[in-house]
Amino acid sequence: MAGDDPQYLGLVELGESIRARRLSPVEVARAALDRINRLDGALKSFSTITAETALAEAQVAEQELAEGRSRGPLHGVPVAVKDLCWMKDTPTAHGMPLLRENRPAEDGAVVARLRAAGAVILGKLQQTEGALGLHHPDIDPPVNPWNPDLWTGVSSSGSGVATAAGLCYGSIGTDTGGSIRLPSTCNGVTGLKPTWGRVSRYGAFELAATLDHIGPMARSAVDCGAMLGAIAGADPKDPTAAPEPVPDYLADLRDDVRGVIIGVDSRLVSKGVDEETGAAFDEALRTLARLGAEIREINFPDPTQVIDDWTPLCGVETAVAHEKLYPAHKEAYGPGLASFIELGQKLSAMDYQKIVLRREAFRGQVRALFQDVDLIAMPALGFAAPTLAKMASITSDPSVLQGVLRFNCPFDMTGSPTITLPAGAAANGGCIGFQLVGRHFDEARLVNAGHAFQSHTNWHKRRPPL
């Protein structure tokens, strides 16, 4: 459990103490930076630590609060952002050594909004190359804080590790095929993948433009709701950012889910799921039922084709994103990202259009399910706490790849919002999670359901043995 370590306070809880002047933003920032310096040499979660600017931001927050000015729940709270988010005059490499000298001339939308909310940004978090599935061969990957032999999840690997290890109170991840949900699950934190378009993508390097989602990773659903409230909303610099008003995700929170109908396809969620994951998922459903939810059987559309389609579609969009750099700088690319780009370059226009049409049909089928249910429950990963050795077989063992993609990429193809919640401990000491999926722009219901679950469970309060 959390013990007495202030680095494991919740983001919202810490913010309340800062606004009440019980804690100093400067002292909190210094403690976070000291912890990073002490632990991250082994964990490798940060790509860049911005200590000087973080302390300056903390001093501004302290002065503003002393003058009675509050910017909200993030004011004075230390957070960190994935390396693909532009940060003015700060190395922003997208996990690519080729871009290690890139220093944007402005903040991206998410960074700008975190600053406007008064957050203290500790630095940039390591990620896989180009936000695909593998770290560049020249970069030391982040280390799972629960056990160095366990997978961290990708691509927001540094975000998951830093948040779990108490190096920041919340972080920014992105999700194109599971990259918020996988590291949230593997590191035992909470991840909120918003509806596509809920958060501006301006100033964030692309993996695949129509699949990329930007969202928070934190210790609880409430903390994720606070972060989403700060970063969501329309943006004139990103015409795909949705104009829907941003609600107060922390308003009217309840510790139950009375009246909420949760759909489950028992056949789908039992296929390709190991015993530990299945047991944790079933217990999570029982908990939600005890809290008042109606668990209703549904027939989820067969995701097999849309899972198969995700790879070539993402490949095409990745090839477009890297058009100015690849193949001109092919020698600087790792083999995984290079081969993925080349796969996308080879897809014909006819085959691409067929994928687009199948995607739209699947999106419509999933949307229709929400006429009868409020949420859909799914595992977040097909197997519990995978080892690095297991994940090394992903290219040779189809069951491993299916275990990763099966419950993740369909909801990037639909653009649906999801919340990933810690729900168990594996025999090897690692973490197990599950996810709830909502209607488009119904993140408030996801935050409330997550809060209710976490009000009656302690899985999100487990801490790695550091």
Residue with tokens 């080892």: 387
Cβ neighbors of 368 (< 8 A, separation 6 or more) are: none
Phi, psi torsion values for 56, nearest 5 degrees: -65, -40
Kindly give, in sequence order, each residue whose CB lies less than 8 Å from that of residue 425, ignoring residues fewer than 6 positions away. Answer: 431, 432, 459, 462
Catalytic residue among 45, 47, 155, 159: 155
Q: Is 82 a catalytic residue?
A: yes
Question: Of all helices (H) and strands (E), which one includes residue 192?
Answer: strand 190-193
How do beta strands 294-297 and 261-264 pair? parallel
Candidates 179, 184, 200, 416; catalytic one: 179
In eight-state DSSP terms, residue 206 is: -
H helix intervals, 347-459: 349-369, 388-391, 398-405, 409-413, 443-455
The residue annotated as part of the active site, out of 44, 45, 47, 82, is 82
**Omega of the bond prior to 155 within 30 degrees of 0, cis?**
yes
Between CA 432 and CA 383 the distance in angstroms is: 8
Count how many Cα atoms sit within 13 Å of the Cα of residue 382 in the half-sphere of its side chain.
19
Strands 213-218 and 190-193: antiparallel
Catalytic-residue membership of 416: no
Q: Is 88 an active-site residue? A: no
Q: Which residues are catalytic?
A: 82, 155, 179
